[in-house]
Structure 1
Amino acid sequence: MIDMSKLLYREDAFCEKWETEVDNTYEKDGLYYVSLKETAFYPGGGGQPADRGTIADLEVKAIESKDAVPYYGLESRIKGKVECRIEWDYRFDLMQQHTGQHLLSAAFRLVLDRPTIGFHLGQEAVTIDVSGDKLTEAELQLTEQKVNELIYDNRQISSYYVTAAQLAELPVVKQPSVTEDVRIVEIDGVEYNPCGGTHVLSTGQIGLIKILKTEKQKQGQRVYFLCGKRALETTRNMFSIVEKAADQFQTNSQEVLDRIQKQAADLQAAVKRAEELEARLEELELQELIQTETPIVARSYEGKNVKALQRMAAKLLEAGKEFVILSDAGERKLVLTHQLNEFHSGNLFRTSLSEFGGKGGGSAQMAQASFQQTEDLERYVRFLQEHYRSIV
């Protein structure tokens, strides 16, 4: 088993590259797994993903533990002395997010007396679950202000191991599952947290913490946030979006929200008016079709969805029409409904549509179909008209 002193990431989280020797190896699923006499690769755990990097210029494809020793999956067999390298940008991002989580959780305890009951560090989102009911905007702002003030203080962050007796004297955030050789991550004047992950050296290296949103969970509230480079990039992107929106409305960033809200209200009013006009137009179209003397109706439209076609077809049946074919040429959709005895629309569609490049089906009284080509739709309308004339 590797001694604790050989886990370099616990001694120096800023160890980016090192030389060591391959200790043991085995083959599994097409990869050659090796253990190292010294390793700075964090294997993952406690909500923090595993590190990325290379061993002898070979990418680490997988990490797994065997007898409490980390093994690294490579595509080629290696032995002897090797140079190892951490993918540093990825590692430092994880360090910022993980340390930021410690600090944000501390801020929620200090400001609102809300403990953290869950943590997730993903590629896109970082979240903590805090106990209690819905967080107000004022509470979030106070907590965000507090956590960033702790960053500005640039408080020292240190890690060390304690005995069971020493652990009993510390006001730790949570009690660990073991009591001997517990690793404590201490944020000076803020908290003592049992944790095996990698962290920055001071709160100032977190850079920035931005709370994004919250959502309800079964046992509390989930808080989405970003730290460091992620927070900077997201803030930059959001500012760019606001500036582009302001340019679109020919205003400044402070007034863009008012312009968007006004446009949304105008659009909603326009949609309502369009719906009213569409309903009135539909009434006129129905009146025109009802007044025709033939029992069959075949009409094509532009801009009517299937629900509108079905609604119109049903009203035409109520008005006494016997066989109704309505279609939309633009969408290449068709609806058929009828009042004929011993005629099944769905069966006809299932047995005939493939010859016209169409797909669809339905019930005995009403069926619908769609077509790839407008010409196929038009041919099928003619087919249905001829079929009607053949059975009446």
Structure 2
Amino acid sequence: MKELLYYQDVMLREFDASIVRTGIDEANRYYVVLSNTAFYPTGGGQPHDTGTLNNVPVIDVEKIDDEIRHYMQGKLTALDGVVHGKLDWTRRFDHMQQHAGQHILTAAFVELFSAQTVAFHLGSEHVTIDIAIDAVTEQQLAEAEARANAIILENRPIETVWVTEKELTTYQLRKEVAVLGDIRLVIIPDFDYNGCGGTHPTSTGQVSALKILGTEKMKGNVRISFVCGQRVLHELAMRKKVLADVARQLSVPEIEAATALTKILTAQKHTEKALATAKESLLQYEAQALIEQNTTVVAAAFHQRTMQELQKIARTIVTQQADSTVLLVSQNDSKLQFVAAKGKNVTQSMKVIAEKILPLINGKGGGNDQMIQGGGDYTMTKEQLLEAMQNA
């Protein structure tokens, strides 16, 4: 392991190696095994490298048993003998920045709050760590972020060393290592000592910056999302664009956008409350108008009324008129909805009405003897459906 090129020189971007063998896996993917490689395989929370071998794209890299397989795009006719490998350096260096940033942030939480990291994931946009703590405050997040960025700014070296199990006792490890035999330690002097098989830059300054983005509860721990390096600039650019757009729509400077938005949302809540009150009054008025018809069967057709509104009108009427049956229909775009309800003195079950009219509109419905509701396709006009309900 220690002889692999990505461990020998983590900054190596191009290399030459001999093809040891080629093959096709069970998923019919072509792969190449080399005499040595600078391509890092997926592992330890860090994604694989990509790049080319003799200009043929390497799309995946995996360590299978004792060999590292380079999965190629297409067949292997262009590969033979000694090949020239070239990493997608933008991708590799991004992974190195994020992974080193994870070490630094993890160590900061241990140093400040004795909170160990129990899980790590390096995603394509954000990085996450799960820390063993019930809850974390904004103040704690700010302190950990400040400590991490201080370590980055100090540009401390990031060192690696291979040790045996016996030699581990000479290092103050952040946590116990799970591997046996030769063990690779990644060290930030006087700050973090940790067993790790991933790739990292050679100094903390190359991480550039670290920004915590948010937290969420995760199985009794706290998951923290963050970004490092170039991703901080991408995140800043995205948020700047969003903020500028919001400020433009609110016609205020960006610094006043939050205050302006709060005012609008408050006004909207008042408007929604007033609208709900007005709708309630309208429903009561319509119900009373139908009651004044003084008929045993109250029937009405509406346009663009919700099921809840139809039910409310029907309940109001049958509550006041125990001898009435209420039949209501609404056309909503290309759908029909209906409600049938009865007062307590009416013996006919409303289910009978539903059974007869649902097939007419390819509909579905539900309810009980006192009230049923349903809806279906616009196979007839709302007036025709209302007439069918009256004749049921």
Asked if TM exceeds 0.5, the reply is yes
Query: Alignment length, in residue pairs?
Result: 379
**Shift in alpha-carbon separation, 1:97–1:366, aligned structure 2, 3 A:** same
Determine what percentage of the aligned residue pairs are the same residue.
30
Residue in 2 that maps onto 1:54 = 52
Residue in 1 that maps onto 2:7 = 10
CA contact (8 A) 2:46 2:122 kept: yes
Residue in 1 that maps onto 2:104 = 103
Structure 2 letter corresponding to 1:310: Q
Unaligned runs of 5+ in 1: none
CA RMSD after TM alignment: 2.3
1:1-392 → structure 2 map (5 Å cutoff): 4-5=2-3, 7-28=4-25, 29-74=27-72, 75-77=74-76, 78-318=79-319, 319=321, 320-330=323-333, 332-339=335-342, 341=348, 344-354=352-362, 359-363=363-367, 365-371=371-377, 376=379, 378=381, 381-386=383-388, 388-389=390-391, 391=392
Rounded Cα–Cα distance in structure 2 between residues aligned with 1:346 and 1:50? 60
SS in 2 for 1:145: helix
CA contact (8 A) 2:357 2:388 kept: no
**Shift in alpha-carbon separation, 1:137–1:377, aligned structure 2, 3 A:** farther
SS in 1 for 2:254: coil
Rounded Cα–Cα distance in structure 2 between residues aligned with 1:382 and 1:206? 71
CA contact (8 A) 1:52 1:87 kept: yes
Using the TM superposition, give the Cα deviation of residue 328 of structure 1 relative to its aligned residue in structure 2, in angstroms: 4.1
Using the TM superposition, give the Cα deviation of residue 183 of structure 1 relative to its aligned residue in structure 2, in angstroms: 0.8
Rounded Cα–Cα distance in structure 1 between residues aligned with 2:135 and 2:57? 44
Rounded Cα–Cα distance in structure 2 between residues aligned with 1:239 and 1:331? 42
SS in 1 for 2:238: helix
**Shift in alpha-carbon separation, 1:321–1:377, aligned structure 2, 3 A:** farther
Structure 2 letter corresponding to 1:280: S
CA contact (8 A) 1:297 1:323 kept: yes
Rounded Cα–Cα distance in structure 1 between residues aligned with 2:93 and 2:46? 12
Rounded Cα–Cα distance in structure 1 between residues aligned with 2:258 and 2:385? 55
CA contact (8 A) 1:34 1:72 kept: yes
Q: Write out per-residue CA displacement over residues 75-133 of structure 1, whole angstroms, 9 at most, x where no aligned residue.
A: 21343222222222221111111110000111112222222222111123311111223
**Shift in alpha-carbon separation, 1:386–1:190, aligned structure 2, 3 A:** closer
Q: Write out per-residue CA displacement over residues 172-231 of structure 1, whole angstroms, 9 at most, x where no aligned residue.
A: 112212353211111133211111101112111111111111122334211111111112
Q: Write out per-residue CA displacement over residues 226-248 of structure 1, whole angstroms, 9 at most, x where no aligned residue.
A: 11111211122112222322233
Rounded Cα–Cα distance in structure 2 between residues aligned with 1:387 and 1:46? 67
SS in 1 for 2:255: coil
Rounded Cα–Cα distance in structure 1 between residues aligned with 2:357 and 2:292? 28
SS in 2 for 1:24: strand
Q: Write out per-residue CA displacement over residues 267-314 of structure 1, whole angstroms, 9 at most, x where no aligned residue.
A: 111111111111111100110111114444443434532222222223
CA contact (8 A) 1:118 1:130 kept: yes
**Shift in alpha-carbon separation, 1:382–1:140, aligned structure 2, 3 A:** same
Give TM-score scaled by structure 1 length: 0.89
Rounded Cα–Cα distance in structure 2 between residues aligned with 1:15 and 1:338? 78
Structure 2 letter corresponding to 1:344: V
Rounded Cα–Cα distance in structure 1 between residues aligned with 2:239 and 2:152? 22
More displaced 10-residue stretch of structure 1: 93-102 or 25-34 = 25-34
Rounded Cα–Cα distance in structure 2 between residues aligned with 1:88 and 1:251? 42
SS in 2 for 1:304: coil
SS in 2 for 1:324: strand
Structure 2 letter corresponding to 1:352: L
**Shift in alpha-carbon separation, 1:302–1:385, aligned structure 2, 3 A:** closer
CA contact (8 A) 1:167 1:179 kept: no
SS in 2 for 1:254: helix
**Shift in alpha-carbon separation, 1:31–1:329, aligned structure 2, 3 A:** closer
Rounded Cα–Cα distance in structure 2 between residues aligned with 1:165 and 1:20? 34
CA contact (8 A) 1:153 1:203 kept: yes
SS in 2 for 1:177: coil
SS in 2 for 1:138: helix
Unaligned runs of 5+ in 2: none
